[in-house]
Structure 1
Amino acid sequence: MSKPGQQVISRLRQMILSGELESGQRLAEIPTAEQLSVSRTPVRIAFRTLEQEGLLTKLSGRGYIVRQVTQAEISGSIEVRGVLEGLAARQAAENTLSKAQSNELLQLLKQGDELFTKGTINEQDLATYHDMNQRFHQIIIEASLNPAIAEALSRNEHLPFASVSALAFDRHNLAQEYRRFNFAHMQHHAVFDAISHGQGSRAEAIMREHANATHSYAKIFSQMEENGEKMHVLNNLGTIT
């Protein structure tokens, strides 16, 4: 698929996950294409893709409707992510990191240390953390030498909070977000330490706890949505929605 086509899919996906496109909202090709300043073809493909992902439902006539995602679905996807990333961490420890992988992970950890050492964060810091966090997880998945894990994660990542590529935060409470992401970064240190020492079971347990910590924040943001507040999502294009 072309890069513009992928960008339309990513943009619409994030508009849904951020609440910009609300549950029950109807979507049609022409107005959506005009809104995104693209032709109808990538929008048509995006609608079909998002229907397959379970984010849109095709109407009996023309058009689609944004499907409501339940808290149970989100929780289930987070648990699946924890199992898969935990397995990746264990297998990475058993396989032993390459020197290049170890050096890059250390560099990412150092970058995170510098980010959090000032005691506060802003939205640009979170954009930096988003990229760093995504690469950290990607290296560990690659180090597992198990392509089935990456394939399974890609099928699971379309729901809110289920993907490491979409980072949600409350821009009105950045002090709280500092504590949350600083703790997550400390978990990154612990995961790296376990993998580096070949401690597969420990690496798996920490990584599962790291992923499952998302549960409580998923509930918080669900309550925000119910109160008419919008969560803000950094997506894998590095944009804030």
Structure 2
Amino acid sequence: MSKPGQRVLVALRKMIVSGELAAGERLVEIPTAERMGVSRMPVRMAFRILEQEGLLSKCEGRGYTVRTVTASEIAGAVEVRGVLEGLAARQAAERGLDPKTSTVLHECLEIGDALFAKGYVTEEDTEVYHDFNRRFHQAIIEASGNPAISHALARNDHLPFASVSSLIVDRNDMAREYRRFNFAHMQHHAIVDALVSGQGARAEALMREHANATLRYAEIFNPIPASTDGIKVIRDT
């Protein structure tokens, strides 16, 4: 996906989460493109991905409508992802990592280390994080040697914010974004250590915790007002 497309996708996710785009609101390509200052193509691609993620529904005519999403629906989908990715990590550790997978995982760690070493992140940095984070998770899933996990995750990814690619960035608080992304990357290091050491149970527990951080660690860094019913937590991945 192009950089403009990725920016539009992230922005629309945040607008849906914040309520700026309310449940039931209709979205059409041209007005949305004009609102966001881009061409129609990035908006078209973003709409399709958001439909796949369960955040938009296709209208009978043109355009899409914003779906109603509850905190419990998000929590359930993220928990299922944690269980599936935890199983993948355990099986990968028990099988042992092949050289190719080990290389990919360590490359991801190195990219992240360089990204966070400067003590802050920019919007462009979060795009880099999105890319290597996706590679990291996919490498572990493939290393499990269990195709059923990939199939189950593909189905679960159609639920709101279940996918590891569902990234939202708060442009107004990049210091907080640095803390949460850096924290997630430290978890990456612990996961790789468990995988390399062949510690299946530990790898599984760490991977499940990594997924559940989506829901919990935002409260540590930025407490959520009760009126939001927990929805704001989904900004963390």
TM-score (norm 1): 0.73
Partner residue of 1:106?
106
CA drift at 1:23:
1.4
Deviations 1:128-176 (A, max 9, x none): 1111111001100000011111111121223443211122222211112
Partner residue of 2:121?
121
Residues 28, 221 of structure 1: CA spacing in aligned structure 2 closer, same or farther, 3 A cutoff?
A: farther
Deviations 1:65-92 (A, max 9, x none): 3221000100001100110110010011
Deviations 1:64-119 (A, max 9, x none): 53221000100001100110110010011011111111112111111111111111
TM-score (norm 2): 0.74
Q: How many residues align?
A: 220
> In the alignment, does 2:14 pair up with 1:18?
yes
Which moves more between the two structures, 137-146 or 13-22?
A: 13-22
CA contact (8 A) 2:27 2:63 kept: yes
CA distance in 1, matches of 2:7, 2:182: 28
Uncovered stretches (5+) of structure 1, i.e. residues with no partner: 234-241
CA contact (8 A) 2:214 2:233 kept: no
CA drift at 1:30:
8.7
CA distance in 2, matches of 1:182, 1:59: 39
Amino acid at match of 1:163: S
Uncovered stretches (5+) of structure 2, i.e. residues with no partner: none
CA contact (8 A) 2:26 2:64 kept: yes
CA distance in 2, matches of 1:107, 1:60: 45
Residues 137, 221 of structure 1: CA spacing in aligned structure 2 closer, same or farther, 3 A cutoff?
A: farther
Which moves more between the two structures, 100-109 or 152-161?
A: 152-161
CA contact (8 A) 1:134 1:164 kept: yes
For 2:168, what is the secondary structure of its paired residue?
strand
Partner residue of 2:199?
199
Partner residue of 2:210?
210
For 1:65, what is the secondary structure of its paired residue?
strand
For 1:24, what is the secondary structure of its paired residue?
coil
Tell me how large the CA RMSD over aligned residues is: 3.8
Partner residue of 1:181?
181
Partner residue of 1:237?
none
CA distance in 2, matches of 1:188, 1:73: 26
Amino acid at match of 2:86: G
